[in-house]
């Protein structure tokens, strides 16, 4: 896990390359972590976490909510974005300004200026929950990067190549870390290993939260 150490960010974040046009920003969100966790609670009060079901009938191990103009949903009909939360057929909660501004700053730090996220997917991981290798390809605009913020218990991030069979590198994501990838790596496969039995954080216990920001249209 060697990379380029760059301490010039206002957040004093170490910037590590994890692939072409892909960066791990260590601790970039630490200054905002408490406010982010509080905002997650407010979003979840309007759009409760739920375990969605894949088209193949499998329940996802991570519980999910969304905020912004669009939310990501999966069911027997497939993967897609929707302007309405299917649980109540109402618009998703508005994206907190803190979310969008932090995502924009992180994207710019990674070399992607003028990022304007339209959707924020919020995943909640408990012990053993994981996310298999996948591509983020339900968006219409692949020119925009993906910004992913980690909060709470640490987890291992897997970052591969354009093919599922490509080798993957492993990166420990801790409270306040942000991963940004786009450009050449925009459609690279990625995921997270199961959340370990001993993984915990003083503020969240055994829970890990992940905020993933995307431009949809």
CATH of the domain at 126: 2.60.120.590
Residue 10 pLDDT > 50:
no
Distance CA 102, CA 107 (A): 9
Residue 9 pLDDT > 70:
no
For residue 12, the model assigns a pLDDT of 52
Total tally of structural domains belonging to the chain:
1
Average pLDDT value for the chain: 94
Alpha-carbon torsion (44, 155, 157, 178), positive or negative: positive
Locate 109 and state its tokens.
């730090």
pLDDT cut 90: percent of the chain above it: 92
* Structural domain contains residue 6: no
* Structural domain contains residue 3: no
* Mean pLDDT, residues 111-130: 98
Residue 5 pLDDT > 80:
no
pLDDT cut 70: percent of the chain above it: 94
Residue 102 pLDDT > 90:
yes
* Structural domain contains residue 9: no
Distance CA 111, CA 165 (A): 28
Domain of 132 in residue numbering reads as 14-214
* Structural domain contains residue 144: yes
């Amino acid at each position: 896990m060697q990379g380029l150490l760059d301490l010039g960010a206002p957040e004093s974040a170490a910037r590590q390359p994890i692939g072409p046009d892909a960066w791990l920003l260590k601790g970039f969100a630490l200054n905002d972590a408490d406010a982010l966790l509080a905002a997650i609670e407010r979003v979840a009060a309007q759009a409760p976490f739920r375990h969605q079901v894949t088209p193949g009938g499998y329940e996802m191990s991570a519980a999910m909510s969304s905020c912004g103009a669009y939310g990501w949903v999966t069911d027997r009909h497939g993967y897609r974005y929707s302007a309405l939360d299917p649980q109540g057929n109402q618009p998703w909660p508005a994206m907190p300004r803190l979310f969008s501004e932090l995502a924009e700053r992180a994207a710019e730090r990674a070399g992607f200026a003028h990022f304007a996220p339209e959707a924020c997917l919020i995943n909640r991981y408990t012990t053993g929950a994981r996310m298999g290798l996948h591509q983020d390809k339900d968006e219409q605009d692949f020119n925009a990067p993906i910004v992913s913020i980690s909060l709470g218990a640490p987890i291992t991030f897997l970052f591969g190549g354009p093919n599922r069979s490509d080798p993957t590198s492993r990166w420990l994501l801790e409270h306040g870390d942000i991963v940004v990838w786009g450009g050449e790596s925009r459609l690279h496969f990625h995921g997270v290993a199961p959340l370990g039995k001993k993984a915990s954080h003083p503020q969240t216990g055994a829970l890990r939260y992940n905020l993933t920001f995307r431009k949809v249209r």
